[in-house]
Every structure is written in C-alpha cells, then in structure tokens.
Chains A and B, each alone.
Chain A
Amino acid sequence: MFGVIAEFAGADELIAAIHRAREAGYTKMEAYTPLPLHEVIEAIGHKNRLPLLVLLGGIVGALTGFGLQYWVSVIEYPINVGGRPLNSWPSFVVIMFELTILFAAGAAVLGMLALNGLPRPHHPVFSVEGFELASRNRFFLMLLHYDPQFDHVQARTLLEGTETLGVQEVPHA
C-alpha cells in the first residue's frame, strides 16, 4: 500500500485534518489542492531550497558571461580598438546581465521540476477515484506508507474522524 487518502470539500477542512494527523504523530503526508494555498503549505511544513538554486544559477551565469567575453576578447581573439584596453569590462556588462537572467531562469524552472520529481507521468495517487477533482474544487490529504508509525487501519480511522467526504486506500502503482 502507498498510503491512505481522504477527500475534503474545502481548504479549512483539509487544514484541520492536517493538524489532526500532526497531533497524532504523523510526519510523512502530502496534501493536494487545486490552487496554491499558503496555509496548507505551512501546515504541511516545507523547507524550500529553490531560491538558493536560482541564486547559484545567476552567479554561474554572470561568471560564464564574463569568462566567455574575457577569454574571447583578451586571450583568443584580441582586437585593438583605438588603443582601448582589451579587457573593456563595462561593455561586457550587458551580456553578463543577460546570461545571469538566462541561467537563473533556467535554474528556477529546471530546479522546480527536478525538486518536484517531475516529469513523472504516473503516480499512485492518480489511481484514487475522483482524484481528477483535485484540479477542480476538491482537496486531498494522503498519509504516506513510509511514515515510521504508519498503520493503514489506524490511518484510516484517523482520517475518517475528520470532516472528510470519503477515505480510500491507495495501492502501489
């Protein structure tokens, strides 16, 4: 079994259920919502490392931009323009800037996908009946099987004690 999932009609019921599961000692769970909700993310508890990746992407981009232009203009293909210095760094700023943006944006998108484990065409949660409503108006909470204290009967009882519209067991796909 992959986990036990409960369906909710609204975000408030979902958040109440998350707190309930937390109090019962569950640590491994995932909520599914049709829209990003800060209260849910806070209740689930998540440390986001993406900003650091984007910063690193930007720094690598800036260094790449400067390195490329310095190497081409000073070492590989020096052209004397009116006796001006070969390392004319002010004119390198524009391309450094553009590559900073390009690399940081790439890090933001690829980093988001990689940390999210996407693309992943199939996931056990897709076998849940009615899960297609998670992209419309329903909210779901799944207690995951790798939680140290996971026991599917207890998990089920816990979720059934919340304001849920229904509880299902999720098999491994």
Chain B
Amino acid sequence: MTDRAPTVDPGPAPGASPAGEEFIAPGHSLESVTDKISHLVLTRRTPRGWWIGFAISFLLAMLLVPSVGVLLAKGTGVWGLNVPVGWAFAIINFVWWIGIGHAGTLISAILLLLRQEWRTSINRFAEAMTLFAVTCAGLYPLLHMGRPWLFYWLLPYPNTMGTWPQFRSPLVWDVFAVTTYATVSALFWYVGLIPDFATLRDRAKSLPFKRVYGILALGWRGAARHWDRYETAYLLLAGLATPLVVSVHTVVSFDFAAGIVPGWHATIFPPYFVAGAIFAGFAMVLTLAIPLRQFYDLGDFITRRHLENMGKVLLATGLIVAYGYAMEFFFGWYSGSEYEHSMLSNRLSGPYRNYFFALMVCNVLAPQLLWIKRCRTHMGWLFLVAMFVNVGMWLERFVIVVVSLSRDFLPSSWDLYEPTKWDWGLYVGTIGLFLTLIFLFIRFLPVISIFEMRTLAPQSSEGNGDEADEAADREGGAS
C-alpha cells in the first residue's frame, strides 16, 4: 500500500487534458500510423503466439459441438435446471455476455460524443468485442428454447396459428432490444471499418486480399463530400447507440424486475444493471487490451493513459455496482416483507452463501485496489483486477438468478440447482467462440481505427525531395 490518501476522484477524468500527445507516442505521422497498423494485418508472417492462442480458443469453441448437439438431441433436460430454478446458466450467461458487450458501445459512442479522444485507439476492438459478445449472448435464449429452429415464433408475423406476441411482456421487449442492439452494433462497426478497408485495399500486395478488402471497402475513395456525410452518419450512429445501450440493459433488467420473485422485484434494477454492464465490459476490454498491447507492441497507441483511464472507469462503475448491492439489502430490509427478509438471509447464510461472498470479494473489494495510482498504471495489477471483475459479474448474475429462484414463496417447492457438464460445456464453448472470433479479428482486420488515428497525428506529410521527384515523373506519363 502507498502512503497516498485515497482521495482521488473516481470519475472518468472529465477534465483530462485534450492534448493528443499522451494518447499517441510522439514522432508519429500520417504514414507511420497507417503503415504500422495496416502492417499487423498485411504481414505475411503470422506470429507463433497467434497460432497457439487461436488453437486453444478453437479447441474450446469445439466444445460447442457436443454441448449443442446433445442439447438438441435430448432437450434442455440435459442441463441442471428444473422447477423452481428454470432459468439458470442460460440467462446468467446471456446477461453476462450482453453486459460485456456494452462497454464496446460505451467506448465507441458515448466517449465519441463526449469528445474523449483517448477512445480512438481502443474503440475498434471494443466494438468487435461487442459484436462477438452479443453473438455469444444470442446463442443462449435461442438454445434455451429447445427448438431453436422455431426462433421466428418470437417475431410478430402473420401465421397459421393465428397468434401474435404479447407486447406487454418484457420478454418480447427483449427480443426487439437485443436484435436492434446486434444490428446497430454491426452497422456501427462496419461503417467504422469502411475507410480502413480502403486503406488495406490500397496497401495489400496479394491480389485475393486486395479484392476482398476492395469489396468490403465498397469503393471508398476518401472524397471530401463522402467524408462529410460519413462523419455525420458516424456521429448520428453514436448518438443513437448511446440511449440504445442504456435501453438494452434496462430491458434485460425488466426481465427480472417485472417478476414478483423476491430478489428480482426491485426498482434499483435498471440503473444497477446498466452500471454492472459497463463495469463488466470495461473489465473485458482490459482483459483483451493488455495482452494485445504487449504481444503486438502497441504501446505507442494504447498508452498507459488509456489503461489508467479504463481503470478509473472500472473503479467508478464498481462503486455504483457496490451501491446497487447496498440498496438491494436496504430495500429488502426496509420493505418489511418476510419474503424479502428471508431472501436476504438466504443470500448471506443459505446454501449458496459462498457464491455471495466470492461476489463481494470480486466486485466490491478487488476494484478498491484501483484507488492506488500504481495499480491503475501497472499492467499486471490491472489485469488481475479485471479478471476478478469478469468472474465477479458472472457470480452476480448467478446470485440474482439461482439464489432467488431456488427459494421463493413456498418452502415445499424449494430446491437446489446444480449445473451439469453440459451447462459448463456450453459456457466454456461460448468463451472459446468469443476468443476464436477475437483472434480472427486481430489477424484479418485493423485492431485500431487507422483513419481515426490519423486525426491524432500531425496532418501533413513531409513531401521530401525524392517523393516530389517521383510525383513529377508520374505527371509526365499522363495523357
């Protein structure tokens, strides 16, 4: 511990100096930024570490084959869930993944609107993380249906059964919220990539790559009028994604809060879930950014300032989440309801108490380390805290879902929940799928937004003598 009193403002440094220098190492120019980032993708040599990481992730992802296969062949009975715990891993993992996704949108959209320039080097992979996390999240409700090929029954369409969705149910809201979120995240990510696809098209040496990136670039040529509309579209998408991300996790929390189960029926849920989502998401961004920065030597672009800022956001949202836990307890007690009281004592001393205490250690105690500047700026400590939070946010959903459902109103219907190997197989499988997609992304797409990094570099190339001569030569060849 240091002797510094922990009086630092935990907020995301609103008065941070806008100077670009601290978010990009000095000495970079338009060409060095372009070349360095596009080189990561266009290099012919794939680093050995990439192959090892990809192989492990892919093996984990292959766990999905038996997990989903057995599930579809035998039905959801292969999972540990049964009445009264009818919503276990499927919803825990759904909420966990959706929450992780939210930081990507937050970094891209909200920080763009707040003109936090430091987001520039981390927004691309944060957005990729969002997209992949939402993909993993979407698997759970689909598989939980037991017959995922009938997923379109969720949507309003004229059908021979003569039925329509019940629009007063939060579960139907969730369908709209999550599909809109997935669509808008994908659009936002792709639009952000268009100018960079054009850069890769212009840099690629091999024809197949040139073609593929060329098709993806849609013929982008950097015309000033195009940039004008492009920037407007990007800014408006950010403006639209910002309330969207808040609404999505609010609706997810309604899935619980609109129910009457003690431990679910609380008005604190929407803000508490949104803060928890940002908390979880920033932890995952750090989990991905720290190794990426280390192995790909991106310290020039993802500087210590970035990591420290993310540490501050983690601390601030962690405190909001801790406040949420405190309020859950306060209102449980203040309600005077015997069911709420028994829910609280069940959390503290019931059969799942170890999960609850582990949750407190991971989500409330561990982030307090970030008050210390040395921990916020040290890669190892930050990574450790982020891993604690990743686990802690999973435990939080476990406590909310399983502990609440296992003991509701009638003691005669109480029962414990035990996940089976198929529950774990599917969970680990989606982690593998997520990491596999991340590895593919790192290899084939620019992990840092090239054109946005150019805006941080000085806006002129030297145009030294040799290059001017070259240009003059070219001129002679024109018709």
Contact = CB atoms under 8 A, between A and B. Distances in A.
B is bound to A: yes
Interface string A1-43: 0000001011110000000000000000011111111001100
Given A9-B462, A91-B167, A118 B34 contact: no
A53 to B, nearest CB: 10
Contacts of B240: 101, 104-105, 108
Contacts of B222: 32-34, 134-135
B120 to A, nearest CB: 12
A147 interface: no
A116 B236 contact: no
Interface residues of B, number: 77
A136 B202 contact: yes
A171 B479 CA distance: 8
Given A104-B236, A137-B30, A165-B467, A30 B202 contact: no
Interface residues of A, number: 73
A109 B478 CA distance: 37
Given A33-B227, A41-B228, A137 B218 contact: no
A122 B224 CA distance: 18
A99 B232 contact: no
Contact of B233 (A9, A50, A101): A50
B187 interface: yes
Given A34-B454, A105-B237, A108-B240, A121 B214 contact: yes
B445 interface: no
Given A41-B227, A165-B471, A35 B454 contact: yes
Contacts of B203: 132, 135-136
A108 B227 contact: no
Interface in B162-197: 162-168, 170, 172-173, 176-177, 180, 183-184, 187-188, 190-191, 195
Interface of A: 7, 9-12, 30-37, 40-41, 44, 46, 48, 50-51, 54, 68-69, 72-73, 76-77, 79, 81, 88, 91-92, 94-95, 97-99, 101-102, 104-106, 108-109, 111-113, 115-116, 118-123, 125-126, 129-138, 165-169, 171
User: What are the 9 A-B residue pairs with the smallest beta carbon separation, nearest first?
Assistant: A9-B463, A10-B460, A166-B471, A165-B471, A132-B202, A112-B233, A119-B218, A166-B475, A137-B30
